[in-house]
Structure 1
Amino acid sequence: MKELCKPTFEKKDHGQGAGIPVLKSIWDLFDLSLLFSQSGIRKHSGTPAWLLAFAYICGLVNHASSANQNAKFSTETPFLQQLLSGGIISQSAFSRFLSKPFQWLRFSLGRLARLQENNDSRLTDGDIIALDDTKVEHPYGKKIPFLCWLFDSSDKRHVWCINLVSTLAVLKNGLEYPMLWRFWVKTDQENEKQTKLDLAKQMLSEVRQLNKARLWVAMDRWFLCKKFLNWLMDENFDWVTKAKRNTVLFRKIYDPVLGKEHYIKLNPKQLLREVYPRVRVLGRGSVLSIPDIYIKVPTRP
């Protein structure tokens, strides 16, 4: 009997734009090309707007860091060249497209609605919305209206930046996707002032219009504002955040002398000292729940 040899496979490197057909199939699954038209974003520089956006996203996925590099990438990628029918997207076409005041927020809401219609991407009970604000440094563009000087607490310095407030969906099935976003604008006009908490409420309210599931909101410690927490609970959101050092916590205990339950004050440092031996035994990455811990919230009218 002849002994069969193991098959040999030719080793091939990925070509330019590998993975774009998969991205295009996801694009078609949610019918984003139609959504561009429905949002009033139809054509720019003689090219369909959805195709400009798709080509730019493909460039970003392949680490093109500027409009010029994206233009070069679109001319060198066979799949994009087929979509463009041999045409060319110039750097100026990309730049003008990205700076034109289209209805991007309307498009973003439509995209979120599409995601909630699909079984694999719909938010369900117990899924998480990560709420965050990020300072994106932008050393150029001094006349862009939403740029301002802000203190970056992580780097301990002032930066000329965009302050982006955003939400990210984290599903139990492992899927993650960006949801909604807002720019926080620094202004001296009282009638135009909006806090980051106002922007967060806007985005979460828009999510609630599309999805009524019981969701977690995970956020930074500076979001720990009692009025905002009340609002979250009124909207049927659960929440999780880090406690500030000066946060006053309460523990409910039973007093056998008084014969009733009452609250005693404590702080995060005391709690950590108390549970540290148990956390040390559990090891890194463990989660420990401490029951009967409360915070004081304003009395509702």
Structure 2
Amino acid sequence: MSTYRTEGEFKRDARYIGSRVTADGRFGYPVEPGRYRLVVSRACPWASRAIIVRRLLGLEDVLSMGVCGPTHDVRSWTFDLDPGGRDPVLGIERLQEAYFRRFPGYERGITVPAIVDVLTGEVVTNDYDPLTLDLSTEWTAYHREGAPRLYPEALRAEIDEVNELVFRDVNNGVYRCGFAGSQEAYENAYRRLFARLDWLSERLSRRRYLVGDSITEADVRLFTTLVRFDAVYHGHYKCNREKLTEMPVLWAYTRDLFQTPGFGDTVDFDQIKRHYYEVHRDINPSGIVPLGPDLSGWQEPHGRESLGGTPFGAGTPPTAPADR
């Protein structure tokens, strides 16, 4: 994560690598089965979006996935989960190596998710926003039979509008709370976060999903923040007006998604907590990782079926994950 602060306010460095993998190859990177490797960490909410979308669309056989460990140093994410600490496909120990192969001396954040060209070992993109949209719209020739339509044309304007609000106040809002450099900046971010969560609670009190009658990109993006809320953001980032489990609508909504194939089966709470509490030493100098919260409630009935809609629309759920 690359950040900076202005007058106490957290600012996310959004200068990402703008190349994209597309069906027509207009950026120089055409969609090709087996050519690219998606590098992620299960700790990172931005990477978790890509993990979920890849699985929902059934792209596992055409887009391999490398998984970094939950912690990293100031230089780079590392492949310490793999034997010998080296990614078995790319042959590298640090994701930084793929960045430097394309951009020697790259000075911005070495972030996940990233797509790496296996042929050259060079990073293609780390721009998480269009990355998942491209998986839905540019990789269609390789979607599994029954794959959901996560970014349908008829709903794109509404999805984009919801995504913008959720990113500003929730996805990025928790970071604006956690990394605020002044009381005023923290309080402003806190109020915007919970005002948006109240808005989302109201919206989701009368509909099962954020946009339309089935899961879309909007649900994926909100889920990856909400699923981390009690484990990390409530305490570590001081987002403590309420826990997720104390917000009935959002708690039921998140459980509904968590119990949907492709969502909860990609979540690793241990890695999530280790990342935030061990890496962010400016917030948690001791590096102590909390034992809680209690995770037993995630499989409790959510009752959201009564609102109508079906998770995959006319499609089907993904099969059991091969590489989780």
- TM-score band (shorter)? under 0.3
Greater fraction strand: 1
After TM superposition, the score normalised by the length of structure 1 is 0.26
After TM superposition, the score normalised by the length of structure 2 is 0.25
Which entry has the higher C-alpha Rg, 1 or 2?
Answer: 1
Greater fraction helix: 2
